[in-house]
């Protein structure tokens, strides 16, 4: 692994297609710019198409030849997920990189269009359903990158019998940790199933460390909490690395030749908060094959999406 790897080290991606969720801002925007700069055809999957259009214009002002297109996708609505997947499938175009990046963090209790708790529904179940429906379009050698977080260490464990927080007192940070732990369990089970099926696709996970993006302010905005917004501003100013640096683990996971299936990529600095991409370790619970299998089965039941993994 090259020390100090940056987006400038991405190889030629002409002829490759990347789908990036949450591409209108934050890490998704930085990843879209970097992959387009390397020549990829980037499909920016966004919930808000107006914001997506502004993001695309921002990139094209810098990179006039960038191949960028918008695709509507609301991960908090399985109908929108199915429409997005159907649209991309009917075009017949293969996918080389599926970057499951979008997410919400520590928001007040709310429900998705399908009745799921918003964080597990958006961060995990929406991406689970999207990945399952796009698997047939993945080309040989494709990579599925699932973005998790160090917050996967914040939860004592996912309650599979109350995944949607219907019987417990809601704790937004624990629910966020649940969703990020679910990302890693999904990633590990997907890697196991791809390997078992002999499918020539690679499942990789990544986390950005502590990166300064708008994600930290969404919950404060929804609560209309100036105190929380100020706290997040101080943290972003004093502790966080830039969004460009935070995007590097995802970009490395998506493109670097040294990456292997099942890898987890994060920053190489102290406590994995900052730095350049390297292979890191998740907590033991995220690597539990039985817990991953149970979450997979529960996710199948909740989304109604099956995974056709065989070639």
Catalytic residues: 176
> How far is 20 from 13, CA to CA, in rounded Å?
15
Nearest to 298 by CA among 83, 128, 106: 128
Asked whether the beta carbons of 24 and 32 are under 8 A apart, the reply is no
- Which residues face 267 on adjacent strands? 277
Report the 10 Å Cβ neighbour count for 57: 10
Q: Quote the CA–CA distance of 213 and 59 in Å, as a whole number.
A: 17
Neighbours of 147 (CB within 10 A): 29
Cβ–Cβ < 8 Å for 147, 208: yes
Cα separation of 157 and 226, whole Å? 31
The strand pair at 201-206 and 138-147 is best described as parallel
Residues 249 and 267 sit within 8 Å (Cβ to Cβ):
yes
């Amino acid at each position: 692994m090259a020390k100090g790897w940056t987006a400038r080290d991405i190889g030629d991606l002409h002829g490759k297609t990347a789908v990036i969720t949450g591409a209108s801002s934050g890490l998704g925007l930085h990843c879209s710019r970097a992959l387009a700069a390397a020549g990829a055809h980037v499909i920016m999957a966004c919930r808000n198409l107006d914001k997506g259009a502004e993001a695309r214009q921002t990139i094209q002002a810098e990179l006039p030849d960038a191949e960028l297109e918008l695709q509507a996708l609301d991960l908090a609505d399985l109908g929108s997920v199915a429409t997005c997947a159907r649209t991309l499938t009917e075009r017949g175009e293969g996918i080389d990189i599926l970057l499951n990046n979008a997410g919400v963090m520590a928001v007040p209790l709310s429900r998705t269009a399908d009745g799921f708790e918003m964080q597990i529904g958006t961060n995990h179940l929406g991406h689970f359903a999207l990945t399952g429906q796009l698997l047939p379009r993945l080309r040989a050698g494709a990579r599925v990158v699932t973005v998790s977080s160090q917050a996967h260490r914040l939860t004592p464990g996912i309650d599979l019998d109350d995944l949607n927080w219907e019987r417990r007192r809601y704790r937004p940070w624990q629910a966020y940790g649940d969703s990020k732990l679910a990302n890693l369990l999904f990633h590990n089970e997907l890697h196991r199933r791809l390997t078992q099926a002999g499918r020539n696709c690679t499942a990789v996970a990544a986390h950005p460390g502590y990166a300064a993006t708008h994600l930290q302010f969404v919950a404060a905005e929804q609560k209309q909490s100036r105190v929380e917004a100020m706290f997040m501003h101080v943290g972003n100013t004093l502790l966080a690395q830039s969004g460009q640096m935070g995007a590097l683990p995802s970009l490395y996971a998506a493109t670097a030749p040294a990456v292997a299936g099942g890898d987890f990529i994060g920053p190489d600095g102290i406590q994995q908060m900052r730095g350049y991409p390297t292979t890191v370790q998740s907590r033991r619970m995220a690597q539990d094959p039985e817990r991953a299998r149970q979450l997979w089965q529960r996710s199948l039941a909740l989304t109604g999406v099956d995974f056709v993994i065989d070639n």
